[in-house]
Amino acid sequence: MSLPIRNVAIIAHVDHGKTTLVDALLKQAGTFREGEDVPDCVMDSNDLERERGITILSKNTAVRYKETLINIVDTPGHADFGGEVERVLGMVDGCLLIVDANEGPMPQTRFVLKKALEKGLRPIVLVNKIDRPRADPHAAVDKVLDLFLELGADDDQCDFPYLFASGLEGYAKETLEEEGVDMQPLFNAFLRHVPPPVGDASKSLQLQVTTLDYSEYVGRIVIGKIHNGTIRVGQQAALVTETGEIVKAKISKLMGFEGLKRIDIEEATAGNLVAVAGFANANIGETITCPNEPQALPLIKVDEPTLQMTFSVNDSPFAGQEGNFVTSRQVRDRLMRELETNVALRVEETDSPDRFLVSGRGELHLGILIETMRREGYEFQVSQPQVIYREVSGQPCEPFENLVLDVPEEAVGSCIERLGQRRAEMQNMMVSPNGRTQLEFVVPARGLVGFRGEFMRLTRGEGIMNHSFLDYRPLGGDIEARRNGVLIAFEEGTATFYAMKNAEDRGSFFITPGTKVYKGMIVGEHNRQQDLDLNICKSKQLTNHRASGGEELVQLQAPIDMSLERALEYIGPDELVEVTPKSIRLRKVTKKLAKR
């Protein structure tokens, strides 16, 4: 007899402790053997997730508690990866909304909660990090209720159960007065408040594909929930594609989830989450069903992208020196392969075979794709991100974002001033006793392009910035263009200390002496509004005369570190970011230099 099942998604704003909490649940359930070396955030399995401390891809795990199988889906908290959240919510019957006891609901909390309520789920609220100083758990619960009402939750959803927890310390409790011991209260809440999956094992098979994986041994693996029927290894099945075509195949492998592992199983019935091999061309949203009476489930719909940029073949003077995959065919094939698993991404071919228009949810969404490709050995160049405009009821509209800033008191005025210039409207302002202020704005998405670097300067690195897509609204008017001009290399060669020291009063550099540069490459930011061409490779003429003071130690100012995200935010409309496995370079689209 199969075990009772509960399918739960864990949703929250980025950095509110989802993945740490899953670690505590896995340890409590005995997933790890005694003495096993377990890394923190064990569900964040790829290198980029570990480096950045964020969840990018949704992942499945399963634990057994009181003879019940609890399938847990860990989802990303960042709105740029909302496509991951939207598709997995169809796999579950309940969700756990995690809120920081100090910060309360944040922009992405609103985003993920809205998606859960639209699916008709009744969330369990968990106020996390109650062991932190300045935590106010009851105030956080009140703010969550306000958010539920604001998002139009029904009476049943507003009467949500809530618990208090510390994922780091590994305990949950129903009241603050209790002593926190372990995660048992949360497991009990799953059993009480998450309904068992609805499905009929006697009906025809219906399994919806929500995630794709790949194995060198069995090929493409599809992961999804069985809505109806029973699936067995070796049985004949049919895939109903997005276009309505029916493709017949055999189930070559069937796997269930246990802890962090997939285990081979012979059969599974309605309500289970399973991984299936045998369908080489299955895509997300399609249905695996009976070949005799194929019945497709509704396709998964996700919000449309709001930002786009052009990916093109690298044509700089240094092209092909550092990458393994440099041709337009290789770049195109890689982008098309990404479309198979990244449901929120769009790729369009342009009138040039060397350029592709790639649309995504935000700078981070596209930035992660670019970083992943460069680590795989791809070399290409990308343009400045541009927002995607739409026509709504015959009127041109643009995407607006809900922006929340947490800033030191002395930076409040400058942040409000700069956002005002970017067409932002302030909605709320809260001053906390610890000398910090929370500011809430509605701002056009194009007003945020390039703002993060400026924000970090205004707050001296102490500010926290979060934003999520709000809706499309009529155009917000002109926005002041970025920044000062740039310093451009005048010729190809190697940057010298002598030339850089002489030009130091002209601006700030992005490079160090010894860096190879080419004509048209951006090497720094000018102090003034216009661009300036520099001979950055000029060397000192040596003589046999010893200069007075020649023994003094002369140093350059530290260069500005241009990471990929910073470069994408920084570049202007006539500039590109050249991306290779070893380098991130900025350059002008046209290499016309001023007459000297």
Residue 128 annotated in ligand binding: yes
Please list the alpha-helical segments (H only) found in 356-469: 363-375, 412-421, 445-448, 451-458
31 touches 263 (CB < 8 A): no
Give the distance, in angstroms, between the CA of residue 399 and the centroid of all CA atoms in the same chain. 18
Residue 306 annotated in ligand binding: no
55 touches 44 (CB < 8 A): yes
Closest CA to 506 of 485, 535, 526, 486: 526
Closest CA to 92 of 196, 221, 13: 196
Which pair of structure tokens corresponds to residue 115?
């998606």
| 189 Cβ contact partners less than 8 Å away, ≥ 6 residues apart | 124, 161, 163
- Contacts for 582-588: CB closer than 8 Å, 24+ residues apart: 582/322, 583/322, 585/316, 585/318, 585/521, 585/522, 586/486, 586/510, 586/521, 586/522, 586/562, 587/316, 587/381, 587/518, 587/520, 587/521, 587/522, 588/488, 588/520, 588/522
102 touches 136 (CB < 8 A): yes
Give the distance, in angstroms, between the CA of residue 494 and the centroid of all CA atoms in the same chain. 37
Strands 124-128 and 230-232: unpaired
- Residue 380 CA to residue 399 CA, distance in Å, equals 28
Closest CA to 108 of 16, 194, 28: 16
How does DSSP assign 13-62, residue by residue? STTSSHHHHHHHHHHHTT-SPTT----SSTT--SHHHHHHT---S-EEEE
Helix (H) or strand (E) holding 68: strand 68-74
Residue 281 annotated in ligand binding: no
- Residue 172 CA to residue 185 CA, distance in Å, equals 6
Strand arrangement, sheet containing 236-240: 246-250, 236-240, 287-289, 206-215, 219-228, 273-277, 253-258, 261-264
Query: Residue holding tokens 């505590």?
Result: 24
168 touches 98 (CB < 8 A): no
Radius of gyration of the chain (CA): 27
- Residue 287 CA to residue 246 CA, distance in Å, equals 10
Longest C-alpha distance within the chain, in Å? Answer: 96
Residue 545 annotated in ligand binding: no
Residue 571 annotated in ligand binding: no
Residue 13 annotated in ligand binding: no
**Count of residues for the chain?**
596
Amino acid symbol at 372: T
Residue 16 annotated in ligand binding: yes
Residue 59 annotated in ligand binding: no
Strand partners, 246: 240
The backbone torsions φ and ψ at residue 82, rounded to the nearest 5 degrees and listed phi first, read -65, -25
Residue 527 annotated in ligand binding: no
Residue 131 annotated in ligand binding: yes
- Residue 288 CA to residue 279 CA, distance in Å, equals 9
Which pair of structure tokens corresponds to residue 558?
């530290």
237 touches 251 (CB < 8 A): yes
Annotated binding-site positions for GTP: 15-20, 128-131
Annotated binding-site positions: 15-20, 128-131
